[in-house]
Structure 1
């Protein structure tokens, strides 16, 4: 079973994504900020992380930077899911190592397709 970590401080997004991905057969973990995310990543080694940028304590940019520094996490795919929709934000996210970048509001169906595609490769 593929493991997925959803990192977002917005309860409605977390709940809807958790439900949608569990229906797809994923084992889903939840983190509300980057520091929680790093701990879960270390413990569970998810296959993919859906990562918000604007969060309390540790933001998404800092989280992916920490993630990419550790060779143990090299195979983990990252999709940014953020309200930051300016080109410079998207470029920064991809430059830091994200595989994809979705802007909010987003289509859950399209996100599921993207996750499935990334994890097939």
Structure 2
């Protein structure tokens, strides 16, 4: 069973994302902060990670740099679901290519159905 690891500090958004993804047949784990997410990923590699880049403390961008520094984690798909626009991120980071981001979704313009379709292109539902 492929597991999704959601890293999202907004509890309401997390609850809605989890509800929709579980309804679509996925197993979803949720962490509020990146450090806890690293600990979870170290114990059980997720099939895909969905992350907001605006997080308290150890931020989402720092998480991606650290996560991608481990050889075993290079190929795990990462979906960015953030309130930072792609333009803001490209300006700050010079793009996503070096972080191996599979897909980027700007929260204000992305429905949960679109996010679920993206995950569906990456993973098979757990019930299949």
Fold shared per TM-score above 0.5: yes
**Aligned residue pair count:** 120
Say if 1:86 and 1:28 are closer, same or farther in 2 by CA, change over 3 A. closer
**Deviation digits for residues 70-109 of structure 1, max 9, x if unmatched?**
1111231001111111414057362322111101122100
Please tell me whether the aligned partners of residues 82 and 102 of structure 1 are also in contact (alpha carbons under 8 angstroms). Answer: yes
With the length of structure 1 as denominator, give the TM-score of the two structures: 0.91
Q: Which has the higher contact order (CA 8 A, sep 6+)?
A: 2
With the length of structure 2 as denominator, give the TM-score of the two structures: 0.86
Residues 1-121 of structure 1 mapped to structure 2, 5 A cutoff: 1-90=1-90, 92=93, 94-95=96-97, 96-105=99-108, 106-119=110-123
Q: Which consecutive residues of structure 1, in runs of 5 or more, have no partner in the other structure?
A: none
What is the distance in 2 between the residues matched to 1:36 and 1:51?
13
C-alpha RMSD of the superposition: 1.6
Q: Which consecutive residues of structure 2, in runs of 5 or more, have no partner in the other structure?
A: none
Q: Which runs of 4+ in 1 moved over 6 A?
A: none
Larger Rg: 2
What is the distance in 2 between the residues matched to 1:119 and 1:75?
13
